[in-house]
Structure 1
Amino acid sequence: MIASAPGKIILFGEHAVVYGRHAIVSAINLRCRVKVRRAREFKIKSQIGVTGLDFRVHPYVSFAVKRFGEVFNLSGAQIEIESDIPIGSGLGSSGAVIVATIKALSAEFGIEMSREEIFEMAKQVEIDVQGRASGIDPFISTYGGAWLFPERRELNVPFEFFVINMGRRSTAEMVSKVAVLKKQHPEITEKIFDAIDRISIEASRNMGDKETIKRLISINQSLLRAIGVSTPEIDRVIAELERRGLNAKITGAGGGGCLFGILEGVIPENSIVVRCGEEGVRIEDE
Structure 2
Amino acid sequence: MTSRPETVVRRAPGKLFIAGEYAVVEPGNPALLVAVDRHVTATVSPVEAGVVISSDLAARPVRMRWQDGGFGGLGGLGGDSAADEQRARAGLPHVVSAVEVVGRLLAERGRPAPALEVSISSRLHDNGTKFGLGSSGAVTVATVAAVASFCGLRLSPDSLFRLAMLATAGIDAKASGGDLAASTWGGWIAYQAPDRAAVLDLARRRGVEEALRAPWPGFGVRRLPPPHGLSLEVGWTGTPASTASLVSGLNRRTWRGTASHQRFTETTTDCVRASVSALERGDREELLRQIRRARRELARLDDEVGLGIFTPELTALCDAAEALGGAAKPSGAGGGDCGIALLDAEAAQDISHLRQRWATAGVRPLLIRPAMEGNEE
**Fold match (TM-score > 0.5):** yes
- Aligned partners of 2:327 and 2:341 also within 8 Å: yes
CA distance in 2, matches of 1:142, 1:28: 12
Q: Distance in 2 between matches of 1:155 and 1:188?
A: 30
What residue in structure 1 maps to residue 246 of structure 2?
Answer: 174
What SS does structure 1 have at the residue aligned with 2:91?
coil
Gaps of 5+ in 2: 1-7, 65-87, 107-111, 193-219, 302-306
Moved more, 167-176 or 75-84: 75-84
How far off its partner does 1:250 sit?
Answer: 1.1
Deviations 1:52-84 (A, max 9, x none): 261211111111112222222436432222222
Tell me what 2:103 maps to: 69
The farther-off stretch of 78-87 and 4-13 is 78-87
Q: Which residue of 2 aligns with 1:44?
A: 54
- Report if aligned partners of 1:10, 1:251 keep a CA contact under 8 Å in 2: yes
User: Are 1:43 and 1:51, in contact at CA under 8 Å, matched by a contact in 2?
Assistant: yes
Please state how far the C-alpha of 1:253 moved relative to its aligned partner. 2.1
TM superposition shift of 1:88: 4.0
Offset of residue 184 of structure 1: 6.1
Alpha-carbon distance in structure 2 between the residues aligned to 1:51 and 1:175? 32
Q: Which moved more, 1:199-208 or 1:137-146?
A: 137-146
| TM-score, reference length from structure 2 | 0.69
1:1-286 aligned at under 5 Å gives the runs 1-19=8-26, 20-39=28-47, 40-41=49-50, 42-52=52-62, 54-72=88-106, 73-74=112-113, 76-86=115-125, 88-150=130-192, 151-158=220-227, 159-166=230-237, 167-183=239-255, 186-207=258-279, 208-227=282-301, 228=307, 229-264=309-344, 265=348, 266-267=351-352, 268=355, 269=359, 270-276=364-370, 278-283=372-377
Q: 1:88 to 1:175 in 2, by over 3 A?
A: farther
C-alpha distance 76-175 of structure 1, shift in aligned 2 (>3 A): farther
Unaligned runs of 5+ in 1: none
Contact 1:63 1:128 in 2 (8 A): yes
User: What's the CA shift for 1:281?
Assistant: 0.9
SS in 2 for 1:82: strand
Deviations 1:195-234 (A, max 9, x none): 0111111111112233322222222122223333323332
Q: Aligned equivalents of 2:10 and 2:180: distance in 1?
A: 14
Cα displacement (A) at 1:276: 3.0
Q: Deviations over 1:12-71 (max 9, x none)?
A: 111111123221122222221111112224232223433326121111111111222222
The TM-score normalised by the length of structure 1 is: 0.89
> How much is the aligned-residue C-alpha RMSD, in angstroms?
2.2
Decide which moves more: 242-251 or 113-122.
242-251
Letter of the structure 2 residue corresponding to residue 46 of structure 1: D
Q: Retained in 1: the 8 A contact 2:9–2:42?
A: yes
> Matched residues in 1 for 2:285 and 2:274: separation?
13
Letter in structure 2 aligned against 1:101: T
SS at match of 1:31: strand
Q: Which whole-Å CA distance do the structure 2 matches of 1:262 and 1:48 have between them? A: 36
Q: For residue 59 of structure 1, what is the amino acid of its counterpart?
A: P
Letter in 1 for 2:154: E
Name the stretch that deviates more: 163-172 or 93-102. 163-172
Q: Which moved more, 1:32-41 or 1:93-102?
A: 32-41
Q: Distance in 1 between matches of 2:287 and 2:260?
A: 25
| Change beyond 3 A, Cα 1:180–1:88 | farther
Distance 1:112 1:205 in 2: 34
Does the 8 Å CA contact 1:130/1:171 hold for their aligned counterparts? no
* Alignment size in residue pairs: 283
Tell me if the contact between 2:187 and 2:226 (Cα under 8 Å) persists in the aligned partners: no
Tell me how far apart the structure 1 counterparts of residues 224 and 254 of structure 2 sit (CA, whole Å): 30
Q: 1:188 to 1:157 in 2, by over 3 A?
A: same
Tell me which moved more, 234-243 or 119-128.
234-243
After superposition, the Cα gap between the structure-2 partners of 1:34 and 1:12, relative to the gap in structure 1 and judged at 3 Å, is same
Question: Which piece of structure 1 moves more, 144-153 or 192-201?
Answer: 144-153
